[in-house]
Amino acid sequence: MATPADKAKKDSTDHTFRRYEDGDFKHLPWQQEIFDADTTYKCPTYIHKTPPCQGSCPSGEDIRGWLNIVRGIEKPAEGLDWQEYAFRRSTDANPFPSVMGRVCPAPCEDGCNRNEVEDFVGINSVEQFIGDWALTNKLAFTAGKESGKKVAVIGGGPAGLAAAYQLRRMGHGVTLFDDHKDLGGMMRYGIPGYRTPRDVLDGEMDRIIDMGVEKRMNTRIGKDISIKQLEKDFDAVLFAIGAQSGRALPIPNADKVTNCVSGVAFLSAFNEGRLKTVAGKVVVVGGGDTSIDVVSVARRLGRITNIHDKDRPENIVLGHTAHDVAEIASREGADVMLISRQPIEGMTAAKHEIDDATREGVEIQGSLSPVEVIIDDDGRATALRVAKMDYSSGKAVVVEGSEFDIECDLIVSAIGQTGNMEGLEGFGNERGLMDADKHYQMPDKPGFFACGDIIRPHLLTTVIGQASIAAISIDHYLKHEEMVKRPKVDVHHFDLLDKLRETNHTPDEYKPAGPDDERAIDRGLRGTIDDDYAVHNYEDRGNAEIVASTELFLGHFEHEDRNKRVETVPDSSQVLGHFEERVAGLSEEATIAEAKRCMSCGMCFECDNCVIYCPQEAVKRTPKEHSTMGRYVYTDYDRCIGCHICADVCPTGYIKMGLGDH
């Protein structure tokens, strides 16, 4: 039901759809709209498009699909819980809903059309509920029929694990090689446990290993096992080794001191349990998610005074020693600063993460460029010299004479990452990464593929999406099939034909009519209106088009506040030693309520507007025995006069005026 005018947002002109604005006096070009008295030759058809949440998701999840399952519109098969049905749909693309529901920066929420009404749908919170329910109820994955082919996946992080998952679903044998003691890559060694609880992480990784994935830990390819041996033992090789080497500050003296370390190494030392405190002032250079994790960890660790040389954080990070808990029991709050070349509002870290770090007591200063590391007679860094940046001209300009020193005991560089190419020198490029084409094949190296941060360091959700495509490419390679062109909107799409098969509505087999066939005589060879082999008045544009908010009838949606998760972010007086999980999941009731805020952009959500408002009773509900998701209504074209009302009142943009009689 549409929102009453007196309850509509007063400060928005986008909330109520209008075909014509004030002052408009011309109809659309005749190619778009042909009027003849009160009728038109254009009648409704049903157009599936990809919603912007899904188009913005680097993993390519069918977000609208599992939100519609949670809200109860798309029904599971009899005997299947909706929670499991939503989990299966979600994990078609991403096998880590519990982890990603907690840590993904959610570009899907930035793209959500609900932002045009009041606020985005809390996609992450619904995903977390789905993932946690699956862990609690011990849902498992199933491998496909064995193909007899074997793939070596090098790297047990999110990209390698996601690829192993997709390859096992295809039936291929997988062996994971990793040079760490435990699986997880950046999910374990780069993200603190209060953001990715280890029981959650282990649960989602174990589910993949239990599909029959062999793992070989503490094994470095190129050192412990040669590439030639891999080629001999496996049918294909996928590099998913991540970017585990941090970039050093490109300024004088940065490479001469031990107390200037990378953010990746700092977080790894903490997550391995070796680093338990810092000393003096910590200055972090960055502006992205890694730098936020470093400063937040440093604040939680705290500092001790009169520290022994062996306990200095750089010695721990470099692996020379490990902290003794008893010796560092007496700690106090650490003095932590984050500086960025960009203004604070231009930093790449999520705004709420920046706000949380500030609340935790981190001093953040933007528009500062590192110039030089200042060292003392003992060869230790004592300060970081910086200069102010001016962006008023639209370009970054160093302000002359603005240099000043920031005293510090530890400098952490979080300005980017590269791969560790030891033993793999023949596979790297000049940037310390690997090259791959759009199918994630390595150039001029048949049978070798690469995906994840080793191609271009990015988000966890990005590498998971790459792994899915890489697995498809490997499958084509193993079957000696040609690599197919990837679709323009390259995500996991809703497929009406798959839905019809799932609900036992599979169309009849197509059998062409012969010249003597009665059907051909009665209706002509091209007639399909009474045939059950065709899906009528439906067009799938999901692989080419994303539905915009301007195509929706926003006036249908009432103002509903987002159901927000409780986030326990400590303030500066509470942060010391605060390692509890920060995000508490929604209840089942709140999860369903939040899913109901989804506007199902580009797909019918069975609101009945078209049926109710059609003046000719031409739009009708599909009989229940034939109805399913995406086929809830149909049009009786003998009654339709092309008045456009059904398209105007369709909240989701699913109905378009397109069919004609010539």
Q: Is 548 helix (H, G, I), strand (E, B) or coil?
A: coil
Q: Is 362 helix (H, G, I), strand (E, B) or coil?
A: coil
| 537 is a domain residue | no
Report how far residue 120's alpha carbon sits from residue 337's, in angstroms, rounded to the nearest whole number: 32
What is the average pLDDT score of the chain? 89
Question: Which pLDDT tens digit goes with each residue over 495-539?
Answer: 998 898 998 888 887 766 666 665 554 544 455 566 677 677 889
pTM of the model: 0.88
Q: What is the count of structural domains for the chain?
A: 2
* Same domain for 174 and 156: yes
* Same domain for 359 and 250: yes
- CB of 471 within 8 A of CB of 166? yes
Confidence of residue 209 (pLDDT cuts 50, 70, 90): very high
Which residue type, as a one-letter code, is found at position 447? Answer: G
| 309 is a domain residue | yes
Residue by residue, DSSP assigns 506-539 as PPPPP-PPPTT-HHHHHH-TT--TT-TTS-TTEE
Judged by phi (left if over 0) then psi (alpha if -120 to 50, else beta), residue 40 lies in beta
Residue-level pLDDT at 2: 38
The closest alpha carbon to 366, from 321, 396, 394, 325, belongs to 396
What does DSSP say about strands 173-177 and 583-584: parallel, antiparallel, or unpaired?
Answer: unpaired
* Same domain for 379 and 239: no
| 278 is a domain residue | yes
Report how far residue 103's alpha carbon sits from residue 260's, in angstroms, rounded to the nearest whole number: 27
More confident residue, 187 or 507: 187
Range ranked top by mean pLDDT from 9-13, 112-116, 577-581: 112-116
Residue-level pLDDT at 7: 41
Report how far residue 469's alpha carbon sits from residue 438's, in angstroms, rounded to the nearest whole number: 9
- Domain limit, last residue, from 401, 418, 435: 418
Residue-level pLDDT at 360: 94
Q: Is 430 helix (H, G, I), strand (E, B) or coil?
A: coil
Confidence of residue 142 (pLDDT cuts 50, 70, 90): very high
Q: What angle do CA 332, 198, 63 make, to 5 degrees?
A: 115
| 292 is a domain residue | yes
For tokens 């590269």, name the residue: 418
pLDDT (average), residues 403-417: 95
For tokens 């299966």, name the residue: 88
Cα→Cα distances 159→55, 143, 165, 186, 455, Å: 20, 18, 10, 10, 11
* Same domain for 361 and 290: yes
Whether residue 309 is predicted with pLDDT greater than 80 in this model: the reply is no
Report the run of H or E that residue 287 belongs to, with start and end.
none
Whether residue 645 is predicted with pLDDT greater than 50 in this model: the reply is yes
* Same domain for 408 and 292: yes
Report how far residue 208's alpha carbon sits from residue 167's, in angstroms, rounded to the nearest whole number: 11
Confidence of residue 479 (pLDDT cuts 50, 70, 90): very high
Report how far residue 292's alpha carbon sits from residue 263's, in angstroms, rounded to the nearest whole number: 10
Question: Which pLDDT tens digit goes with each residue over 10-45?
Answer: 344 445 555 556 766 666 665 555 444 444 667 888
Question: Which pLDDT tens digit goes with each residue over 436-468?
Answer: 999 999 999 999 999 999 999 999 999 999 999
Cβ-Cβ contacts under 8 Å for 369 (sequence gap 6 or more): 341, 386, 387, 388, 389, 396, 398
- CB of 176 within 8 A of CB of 214? yes
Report how far residue 21's alpha carbon sits from residue 26's, in angstroms, rounded to the nearest whole number: 11
* Same domain for 367 and 269: yes
Residue-level pLDDT at 12: 42
The dihedrals phi and psi of 610, each to the nearest 5 degrees, come to: -65, -35
For tokens 């106090």, name the residue: 332
Judged by phi (left if over 0) then psi (alpha if -120 to 50, else beta), residue 558 lies in beta
Q: Which runs of E-coded beta strand occur in 43-134? A: 43-48
More confident residue, 31 or 7: 31
Judged by phi (left if over 0) then psi (alpha if -120 to 50, else beta), residue 39 lies in beta
Q: What is the residue range of 402's domain? A: 246-418
- Which CATH number goes with the domain that contains 439? 3.50.50.60
Report how far residue 192's alpha carbon sits from residue 43's, in angstroms, rounded to the nearest whole number: 56
* Same domain for 166 and 286: no
- Domain limit, last residue, from 367, 390, 418: 418
Report how far residue 196's alpha carbon sits from residue 268's, in angstroms, rounded to the nearest whole number: 14
Report how far residue 559's alpha carbon sits from residue 12's, in angstroms, rounded to the nearest whole number: 12
Report how far residue 62's alpha carbon sits from residue 68's, in angstroms, rounded to the nearest whole number: 10
Residue-level pLDDT at 509: 79
Residue-level pLDDT at 6: 41
The dihedrals phi and psi of 458, each to the nearest 5 degrees, come to: -155, -150
Residue-level pLDDT at 203: 98
Whether residue 310 is predicted with pLDDT greater than 80 in this model: the reply is no
Report how far residue 225's alpha carbon sits from residue 236's, in angstroms, rounded to the nearest whole number: 15
* Same domain for 337 and 269: yes
For tokens 């699986």, name the residue: 183
* Same domain for 297 and 212: no
Report how far residue 441's alpha carbon sits from residue 469's, in angstroms, rounded to the nearest whole number: 10
Cα→Cα distances 607→100, 482, 626, 632, 646, Å: 31, 43, 18, 10, 12
* Same domain for 433 and 373: no
- Domain limit, last residue, from 453, 478, 503: 478
Whether residue 8 is predicted with pLDDT greater than 50 in this model: the reply is no
Whether residue 626 is predicted with pLDDT greater than 60 in this model: the reply is yes
* Same domain for 199 and 173: yes
pLDDT (average), residues 537-557: 92
What does DSSP say about strands 39-40 and 35-36: parallel, antiparallel, or unpaired?
Answer: antiparallel
| 389 is a domain residue | yes
The closest alpha carbon to 175, from 136, 219, 132, belongs to 219
| 535 is a domain residue | no
Residue-level pLDDT at 211: 98
Taking every pair of Cα atoms in the chain, the longest distance, rounded to a whole number of angstroms, is 100
Residue-level pLDDT at 91: 97
Report how far residue 114's alpha carbon sits from residue 97's, in angstroms, rounded to the nearest whole number: 22
The closest alpha carbon to 266, from 250, 287, 290, 249, belongs to 290
Question: Which pLDDT tens digit goes with each residue over 38-89?
Answer: 446 678 889 999 999 999 999 999 999 999 999 999 999 889 999 999 999 9
| 425 is a domain residue | yes
For tokens 């890559």, name the residue: 185
* Same domain for 315 and 263: yes
Whether residue 330 is predicted with pLDDT greater than 70 in this model: the reply is no
| 638 is a domain residue | no
